[in-house]
Structure 1
Amino acid sequence: MSTTPVPPHGQPSLHAVQVLGKGGSGSGVHVRSLSAGLVARGLRVTVCGPWSAEIGYGFTEAGAGFAALDALTDAGSVASLRSASLGAGLVHAHGLRSGLLAAMALRGRRVPLIVTWHTAVDTDGARAPVVRLMERKVARTASIVLGASSDLVDRARARGARDARLAPVAVPAPRAAGGRDGAGDGDEQKARAELGAVERPLLVTVGRLETTGLGPLLDAARRWRALDPQPVLVVAGEGPDRAPLQRRIEAEGLPVRLLGRRDDVPELLAAADVAVLSSRWEARSLLAQEALHAGVPLVATAVGGVPELVGDAAELVPYGDPEALADAVTGLLADPARRVALAAAGRARTAGWPTEDDTVGHVLSVYDELVQTFWCHGG
């Protein structure tokens, strides 16, 4: 069992600063869960991030302090973070940009820095040299880099991390579960009616509206137009490519609805026949975790950390192969027994995943190790 880092006699409890950027929902959910767990174990926690994150995740409701990093320039954000972390026992940044801001804010201070890499930043194109430079800076500055998947740990080591470790990130227990392996209850039927799927199969995906991930999915949806009954695919999320995606949906008559941001994803999944993950890359996909927890059959691209996360509890297809994606979904819709088997396999798979408490305990053990090292050896 991990222990809470204990300061020297007469000193206050450890102050752990969490730094959160404007990234995906997975890191926000994780920091909310982690903050609540750390506070419950006697640590003082301050979350630094955009004010929108406090509104969305309620860190102060979990007992943490909050400092907004909404300056118009990076220099302003660094100054705010430097002030908020004054006297901190350690700083734990989540994401590449947050790690870089934290590294700059801690310059000249003997404070250990932990950085969790939740996802990989695209290194294709003109930005590639800049991204690699940022990764090297963060990897080499951090005392420890925690990777949400094995390939992220390998990436951090390749960028020069002195200590990189696997640290799977757990999601909170689902608020709703059930899936479509049995008869839906009233709430599920109501949700299906609102989404236009009373007599049609319901497919659910969640993600940022970008053509790199959703383009192949829309290609697959073209093939589903010929099915009877025709499934409806609903997409929960927002992003920069909403307008061109919507134009394509309308021009091609695709059975797809863009729902925008939703705070009822577990309820959407509980009503779904199949969940679909078409990402170009994922570490420890929040959608995949929620789908398997809910017992919803999942079709996902075999990218990043997805295969090690789901094992044989999902149908995996190559990224960028819309025919394979369409065929996998079509096959599941035509095979109720396979859907039931995948739902059972998904629930069994989740039993071996770390819980929120496991995740907090693991992070605490890392904190304890770092703090003891700095106290005993001077950083």
Structure 2
Amino acid sequence: MSHVSSQSPHGQTPLHTVQVLGGGSAGSSVHVRSLTAGLAARGVRVTVCAPDEAALVYDFAGAGARHVPVPRSGDPASVAALRTACADADLVHAHGLHAALRATLALTGRGTPLVVTWHHHTRAEGARARLVRLLERRVARAAAVVLGTSSDLVDQARSRGARDARLAAVALPGPRRAPAAGGPRAGDEEPDRLLHKSRAELGAVDRPLVMAVGALERGGGQDLLLDATRAWRHLDPVPLLVVAGEGPERAAMLRRIEAERLPVRLIGRRDDIPDLLAAADIAVLPGGREARSVLAQEALHARVPLVAAVTGGLVELVGDAAELVPADDAGALGTAVARLLADPARRAQLRDRGTAQAATWPTEDETVTQVLSVYDELTQPLPCT
């Protein structure tokens, strides 16, 4: 194993890394914040180039980084701002295809090593799919190392011409307040009171609570989720689906919910997702592009049974610790939720399997150690021969 160092190639000043975020998806943003905190704690100087809205939500400065606002757009001004921010970097680490493309442009003509992490799959068809493949090839070939958050993303990077592609260790940051095995202990009234408070706030005291979290945008599976609720409208009491998140599809979803009288509540962006999730009977993941879904990880850590559509690296992430259904099949998704609500033994089995599966995931410390070892490889001077 290579020696992990926070020194620059000349051993005089701390290593300076620039972390570049594009749209700031939940998975990549959470990872960058966790990585920033770990790197800063080990003496690395970190600059995060990200849109202002991502910095506001994830507080990179609070994790020890200097934040440089760089808009999501790929216009020349955005690339120029990134080029200036990277001027004295020892290494640049870009997260996602769009961030990596801008970093590639900003580093043109410089010898600064570029590391790219691919966090999710890009869905595209026709001419746009061909363009995405071209961009992926350009980024993969420009990077010194491509880290994929699932095995299929590593394979994709290699197929696009990456010189060095590896499986990334990506941890879900704590704190995690999972309920004790078997539920709250006798006399442990505070967690029970908090769970009741959360359910009361959401309107699910006397009915099952199904929880979903995600951006309300095209391709996020939200229409599929609304379709799936039809499978449990006949149940008594009718389960309530609560969706946390914001996005451009919110208005359209509200129109559907009202017009079709669906048992769904949209509660917007929340910063208490672990508490809300812990109060749920079931978590549901209708799809999405992230290889390491934040919701899936939160659900298993919180011992909440998960029903999920199979996409990307999900099976690799959750193993047999979730109820899996085919992608883009609203009927199967809704039926699986209804069946699981009626099967307490299966829910208990999934809770235990979830705990075991989560224990196999890398820790934050292991994630930082892996990333620093990659940085070390790329920035340490070659030994004299």
TM-score by length of 2: 0.93
1:101 & 1:123 partners in 2: Cα distance?
Answer: 20
Q: Which moved further from structure 2: 78-87 or 120-129?
A: 120-129
Alignment partner, residue 217 of structure 1 = 225
Q: Give aligned pairs, total.
A: 376
Deviation, structure 1 residue 59: 1.2
| Residues 211 and 82 of structure 1, relative CA distance in 2, 3 Å threshold | closer
Deviation, structure 1 residue 74: 2.0
Alignment partner, residue 194 of structure 1 = 201
2:353 & 2:103 partners in 1: Cα distance?
Answer: 41
| Residues 279 and 10 of structure 1, relative CA distance in 2, 3 Å threshold | closer
1:143 & 1:127 partners in 2: Cα distance?
Answer: 26
Alignment partner, residue 84 of structure 2 = 83
- Tell me the SS of whatever aligns to 1:185: helix
1:265 & 1:112 partners in 2: Cα distance?
Answer: 37
Letter of the 2:213 partner, please give it: V
The one of 277, 281, 297 aligned to 1:273: 281
Alignment partner, residue 361 of structure 1 = 369
Deviation, structure 1 residue 9: 5.4
Alignment partner, residue 233 of structure 1 = 241
- Tell me the SS of whatever aligns to 1:47: strand
Deviation, structure 1 residue 177: 2.2
Alignment partner, residue 207 of structure 1 = 214
Residues 201, 230 of structure 1: 8 Å contact kept: yes
- Tell me the SS of whatever aligns to 2:270: coil
- Tell me the SS of whatever aligns to 1:376: coil
* 1:12-50 residue CA offsets vs partner (Å, 9 max, x unmatched): 111111011123111111101101100111111111111
TM-score by length of 1: 0.94
Alignment partner, residue 67 of structure 2 = 66
1:99 & 1:71 partners in 2: Cα distance?
Answer: 12
Deviation, structure 1 residue 180: 10
Could you say what the CA RMSD is over the residues aligned between the two structures, in angstroms?
1.9
Letter of the 2:61 partner, please give it: T
- Tell me the SS of whatever aligns to 1:341: helix
Deviation, structure 1 residue 186: 0.7
| Residues 187 and 81 of structure 1, relative CA distance in 2, 3 Å threshold | same
Alignment partner, residue 341 of structure 1 = 349
Deviation, structure 1 residue 245: 1.6
The one of 288, 293, 296 aligned to 2:301: 293
1:40 & 1:376 partners in 2: Cα distance?
Answer: 26
Residues 211, 245 of structure 1: 8 Å contact kept: no
Residues 243, 267 of structure 2: 8 Å contact kept: yes
2:153 & 2:9 partners in 1: Cα distance?
Answer: 35
2:295 & 2:374 partners in 1: Cα distance?
Answer: 27
Alignment partner, residue 321 of structure 1 = 329
Residues 4, 373 of structure 2: 8 Å contact kept: yes
Q: Which moved further from structure 2: 178-187 or 237-246?
A: 178-187
Q: Which moved further from structure 2: 285-294 or 316-325?
A: 316-325
Residues 284, 306 of structure 2: 8 Å contact kept: yes
Describe how 1:176-195 pairs up with structure 2 within 5 A.
Answer: 176-178=177-179, 182=183, 185-195=192-202
Deviation, structure 1 residue 6: 3.5
| Residues 210 and 51 of structure 1, relative CA distance in 2, 3 Å threshold | closer
Instruction: Identify unmatched segments of 5+ residues in structure 2.
Output: 185-190
Alignment partner, residue 32 of structure 2 = 31
* 1:118-161 residue CA offsets vs partner (Å, 9 max, x unmatched): 11121214421221111111111111110011111111111111
Deviation, structure 1 residue 240: 2.0
Alignment partner, residue 14 of structure 2 = 13
2:295 & 2:243 partners in 1: Cα distance?
Answer: 12
Deviation, structure 1 residue 296: 0.4
- Tell me the SS of whatever aligns to 1:28: helix
| Residues 377 and 238 of structure 1, relative CA distance in 2, 3 Å threshold | farther
Residues 231, 338 of structure 2: 8 Å contact kept: no
| Residues 123 and 170 of structure 1, relative CA distance in 2, 3 Å threshold | same
1:119 matches 2:120: yes
Letter of the 2:90 partner, please give it: G
1:174 & 1:302 partners in 2: Cα distance?
Answer: 27
Residues 59, 65 of structure 1: 8 Å contact kept: yes
1:3 matches 2:4: yes
- Tell me the SS of whatever aligns to 1:46: strand
